Amino acid sequence: MQTFLILGKDNNFRQAKIAELMKEYDISEFDLYQLTSDSSIGIAQVRQAVFASAKKPLAGLKKMLVVHSIDTATSEAQNALLKILEEPTQTTVIVMTASSDNQILPTVLSRSQILRASQTDINETESLPVGTLEEIFAASPGRRLLLSENLAKTREEAVVFVDKLAASLEKRLLQYKKDFSQTAEALRRTVQAKKFISGNVNHKLVIDILLLGFPRS
């Protein structure tokens, strides 16, 4: 199989795996085509990728198509990508990356060899650093906007942030009975924010609204 899905919240892990696959398949940088977007990946971008995958390699025997953050792609875009996943050319290695497989179509998953981060890496990145959640709840509106700017500068960082935020809120629900309803509402808002970020919505605006809507302790 020449189709890979790299799963992990750590960008360094994902980049390292891409480098390993390039070395394994002897892919030149001239034969590397990368698909990325500041917003949700759309069907037009995927069509460009399909067109690029049909071209012959320039410097070697194989070329590589890397689709970054496939979990932010629309369902229509993922379905369009199935065209090359179902009928891959022998000269193309397809690599997709994602922080998790929650937003990826089962048909895409079934056609991919999944490379996951180790359990240690997952445990280290699953929640916010100690004290960050309390800092958000205690912060003024102005401070929350500043935290939003620092914690989620890119769409990819925003996805990772809301995943960690959700994990931290879940732990808070289990550990504290005080303010249970407020924490539960914050978690509901966070899950909803993840859906907006995965769609074609400005990630900075989503995080700003999310944090400003949290109760202040």
pLDDT by residue (tens digit) across 9-50? 888 889 999 999 999 999 999 999 998 876 678 888 888 888
Asked if 21 and 102 sit in the same domain, the reply is yes
19 and 107, same domain (yes or no) = yes
Phi-psi region of 179 (alpha: psi -120 to 50; beta: other; left: phi over 0): left
* Residue 197 pLDDT class (50, 70, 90 cuts): confident
**114 and 130: one domain?**
no
Kindly tell me the sign of the dihedral angle through the C-alpha atoms of 77, 79, 84, 85.
positive
Higher pLDDT, 12 or 95: 95
pTM score = 0.57
The domain tally of the chain equals 2
Which domain CATH number covers 82? 3.40.50.300
Could you tell me whether strands 63-67 and 3-7 are parallel, antiparallel, or unpaired per DSSP bridges? Answer: unpaired
Shared domain for 11 and 52, answered yes or no, is yes
Query: Can you give the length of the chain in residues?
Result: 217
User: Across all residues in the chain, what is the average pLDDT?
Assistant: 85
Q: What is the rounded distance in angstroms from the CA atom of residue 126 to the CA atom of residue 163?
A: 7
Three-state DSSP class for 93?
strand
Q: Are 15 and 84 members of one domain?
A: yes
pLDDT above 50 (res 192): yes
pLDDT band per the 50, 70, 90 thresholds, residue 1: low
**What sections of the chain are H helices per DSSP?**
11-24, 43-53, 75-86, 106-109, 119-125, 132-138, 141-151, 155-175, 180-198, 203-212
- Residue 207 in this model has a pLDDT that exceeds 90: yes
Minimum mean pLDDT among 56-60, 122-126, 132-136, 179-183: which range? 122-126
Q: Which of 100, 122, 144 is the last residue of a domain?
A: 122
Structural domain containing residue 14: 3-122
Q: Is 104 helix (H, G, I), strand (E, B) or coil?
A: coil
pLDDT surpassing 60 at residue 124: no
The CA distance from 88 to 76, in Å, is 19
Residue 146 lies in a domain: yes
Same domain, 89 and 131: no
User: Does residue 149 form part of some domain?
Assistant: yes
- Residues near 167 by Cβ (< 8 Å), separated by ≥ 6? 126, 127, 128
Rounded mean pLDDT, 148-174:
86
Q: Mark whether 87 and 12 lie in a shared domain.
A: yes
